[in-house]
Amino acid sequence: MGIANYLLSWDGRIGRLQWWLGGLAQAVILIVAGVLFTAGVGGNFVFLALSALLLILALWFGIGLSVKRLHDHNKSGFWFFVYFIPIAGLIWQLIECGLMRGTEGDNDYGPDSRFRFNVSEDIAALVAQRDREVASRQPSAMRPALAMPSRLAPADAARTVFGKRV
C-alpha cells in the first residue's frame, strides 16, 4: 500500500501500528494548521485559508484511517458514526482501532494486513487481473476463453466495490 493510498483512500485494511502512525501524521498536520491559524488571526487570509485546507485534509486522513481500521475488524465504514457519541465514542474508537486485534486472515475487505510475505498468490492474482484486462480490450470474436488458475480461490478474483470485495 503506497503512502497516497494509505492516507487518501478509504478502502482496504490497516493494522494497529499503521493506525497509530497515521494518527501521529494527522497530529503533525493539525499542529501546522494551528500555527498557520494563529499567524492568520491578524488579518492574513492566506494563512487562514491554508489552515482551513489543512484541517479538512487532517479530517479526511482521520476518517480514512479509522474506516480502514474498521475494515480490519470486518465491519463496514458506517460504524464510524458510532464515534460521534460523546465520550463513549472516543473510548470505543481508541479501544477498537488502537488496541483490538483485527480479523485473522482474509475478510470481506481484503487480505490480512499482517505478515503478508507470501507473494506467489499476489503475483498469480495480478497475472489473472492483467489477463482479464487484456481480454476485455480485445474484440469479442478474438477473445480466448480465460481459464482461472486452479490454485486461486474465487474470492481472490473478486472485484472491489466500495472497499468491499464481492
pLDDT digits (tens, 9 = 90+) for 94-118: 888 888 888 887 888 777 766 555 5
CB contact at 8 A, 70 and 92: no
- Who contacts 63 (Cβ-Cβ below 8 Å, separation ≥6)? 10, 80
- Who contacts 7 (Cβ-Cβ below 8 Å, separation ≥6)? 22, 25, 61, 64, 65
CB contact at 8 A, 63 and 10: yes
Higher pLDDT, 160 or 3: 3
Least confident of 49-53, 56-60, 74-78, 159-163: 159-163
End-to-end CA, the chain: 20
Cell of 107: 475478510
Grid cell 470505543 is found at 92
Cell of 37: 491559524
Higher pLDDT, 118 or 4: 4
Dihedral sign for Cα atoms in the order 48, 54, 56, 62: negative
Dihedral sign for Cα atoms in the order 105, 107, 111, 112: negative
Tell me the per-residue pLDDT of 31-62, one tens digit each, with 9 for 90 and over: 999 998 888 887 788 888 899 999 999 999 88
Cell of 42: 491578524
CB contact at 8 A, 30 and 45: no
Higher pLDDT, 3 or 62: 62
Residue 150: per-residue pLDDT = 52
Q: What is the pTM of this model?
A: 0.61
- Who contacts 98 (Cβ-Cβ below 8 Å, separation ≥6)? 16, 19, 20
Residue 53: per-residue pLDDT = 93
Residue 158: per-residue pLDDT = 58
Residue 154: per-residue pLDDT = 52
